[in-house]
Amino acid sequence: MLESFKGSCRFLQYTPSKPAKYGIKLFFLVDAMTFYTNKLEICGGKQREGPYFQDTSTNALVKRMIEPISGTGQNVTMDNWFTSVPLTEQLLTDHDLTVLGTMRKNKPEILNEFRRKGLEVYSTVFGYKQKETLLSYCPKKDKTVLLLSTMHNDGVIDKTSEKNFQKSLSFIIKRKEE
C-alpha cells in the first residue's frame, strides 16, 4: 500500500502508476477472516550498512512478514511483486504455508506457453510441477493473467463461480444491446 504523503521524509516513495504518486510504502500481513493486522512494516528504501540494517529484497521481506504465522499451515495471498516459484517452494517446505498469488510474466521459471498472446478469450491453461500449479487465464484479447498456487493441485474450475460469471457476462451483453 502507498499511503499518500507529501511532506519531508527520507523514505518517501514515488510510484507514477498510483493515483497518489508520492507517499510512504507500507507492507501488511492481515488475517482475511478477522481483518486483524498481524504485522506491518514500513519500506525504508535502500539502507546503509550499520546496526539497524534490514535486507529489503522481496524474499527477505516476505520471510520477516510471515514470522507470526510460520508453521500454522495457513495460506498466504500475495501480489505479483512478491510471487515467485522459489519463494513459494520455500514457504511450503520450510514454513508449512501455502501460497496463492499473481505472477509477472518476466520470471525465468515461466514457460513460453504461459506467456504467449493470441490465446482464446476466457481460456485457461494449467501447468503442474510437484506441489505447484501455474494457471494462465486470458480475460480479454492479447492479455494474460498468471496465477501460482501451492494450495490447489488440480485443474477443476468451481461450477458456482462459473455460473455467476456467465450470469454477469449475460448482464453485460444485455446492457450493451440496450
Shared domain for 122 and 81, answered yes or no, is: yes
Shared domain for 99 and 21, answered yes or no, is: no
Shared domain for 85 and 155, answered yes or no, is: yes
Amino acid 99: pLDDT: 93
Shared domain for 78 and 42, answered yes or no, is: no
- Give 34-68 pLDDT, tens digit per residue: 888 889 888 877 777 888 787 888 898 899 999 99
Q: Is residue 90 part of a domain?
A: yes
Shared domain for 79 and 24, answered yes or no, is: no
Contact 96/70 with Cβ under 8 angstroms? yes
Quote the Cα angle for 76-78-80, to 5°. 150
Shared domain for 78 and 110, answered yes or no, is: yes
Rounded Cα distance, 14 and 12, in Å? 7
Shared domain for 21 and 79, answered yes or no, is: no
Q: Sorting pLDDT into bands at 50, 70 and 90, what band is 172? A: very low
Burial grade of 99 (CB within 10 A; 0-12, 13-18, 19 or more): buried
Shared domain for 42 and 116, answered yes or no, is: no
Q: Is residue 68 part of a domain?
A: no
- Which is it for strands 75-78 and 98-103: parallel, antiparallel or unpaired? parallel
Question: Which range marks the domain in which residue 31 is found?
Answer: 1-56
Q: Is residue 30 part of a domain?
A: yes
Q: Is residue 49 part of a domain?
A: yes
Shared domain for 43 and 80, answered yes or no, is: no
The helix (run of H) or strand (run of E) holding residue 173 is: helix 159-177
Name the domain count of the chain: 2
Shared domain for 78 and 160, answered yes or no, is: yes
Amino acid 55: pLDDT: 81
Shared domain for 96 and 178, answered yes or no, is: yes
Q: Is residue 31 part of a domain?
A: yes
pLDDT at 3 over 70: yes
Measured between its terminal Cα atoms, the distance across the chain in Å is 39
Shared domain for 83 and 30, answered yes or no, is: no
